[in-house]
Amino acid sequence: MSRSHTHVPGEVIEQACPLVEVLDHVAGKWSISILVAAARGPVRFTELERAIEGISRRMLTLNLRRLERDGLLTRTVYPTVPPKVEYSLTAMAQELYSYLTGLVEWAERHSGAIAHARAAYDTAAAPADPPRSQPERGRAQVPASSP
């Protein structure tokens, strides 16, 4: 995610709210997956690659570097002949992890509801042939207008 929104030259507004901070670690398809995968102890590169299901070698490397840079992962390299590298969460990241599991748990509880909401929204918005023409995209509830 690009820092700098429109980036007014001269006036640096960054670091204003901590929200942006979180987003930078949490956003992106892979960061969370990596943290979760690395949470159960030291994990090797290839283990992560296999555990994460769909991540490319490149993206894994990039995200690992970023997480290491931000102090969320420690990278330990053993100078053995086939090189061996292990990643672990820092204390800071373990704390973050506990919040993350809350998120995942939430997703598990509501994934059905979300899928249902999507289906409802989509069928309401794009029926192959609108039988009686409902121009309104969302079935927006219209309470009695007060003003």
Partner DNA sequence: CTGGATCCTAAAGGATACTG
Partner DNA sequence: CAGTATCCTTTAGGATCCAG
Among positive and negative, which fits the CA dihedral 62, 63, 68, 69? positive
DSSP element (H, E) containing 120: helix 91-125
CA gap 61, 45 in Å, rounded: 9
Per-residue binding letters, 94-123, with a second copy (x by CB under 8 A): -xx--x--xxx-xxx-xx-xxxxxx--xx-
- Tally Cβ neighbours within 10 Å of residue 68: 14
Residue pair 42/87 in contact by the 8 Å Cβ criterion: yes
Q: Is 67 exposed, middle or buried (0-12, 13-18, 19+ CB in 10 A)?
A: buried
Residue 3 or residue 132: which is nearer to DNA going by CB?
A: 3
Partner from DNA, a second copy, none contacting 99, C-beta within 5 to 8 A by type? a second copy
Among 29, 110, 118, 139, binds DNA (CB under 7 A): 29
Instruction: For the segment 63-122, give every residue that binds DNA (CB under 7 A).
Output: 63-65, 75, 77, 82-86
Which region among 10-18, 54-62, 90-98, 104-112 touches DNA (by CB under 7 A)? 54-62
Instruction: For the segment 33-92, give every residue that binds a second copy (CB under 8 A).
Output: 33, 36, 53-55, 68-72, 74-80, 84, 92
10 is a site residue for a second copy (CB under 8 A):
no
CA gap 90, 6 in Å, rounded: 34
Q: Which residues bind DNA (CB under 7 A)?
A: 1-2, 5-6, 27-30, 44-47, 49, 54-59, 61, 63-65, 75, 77, 82-86, 137
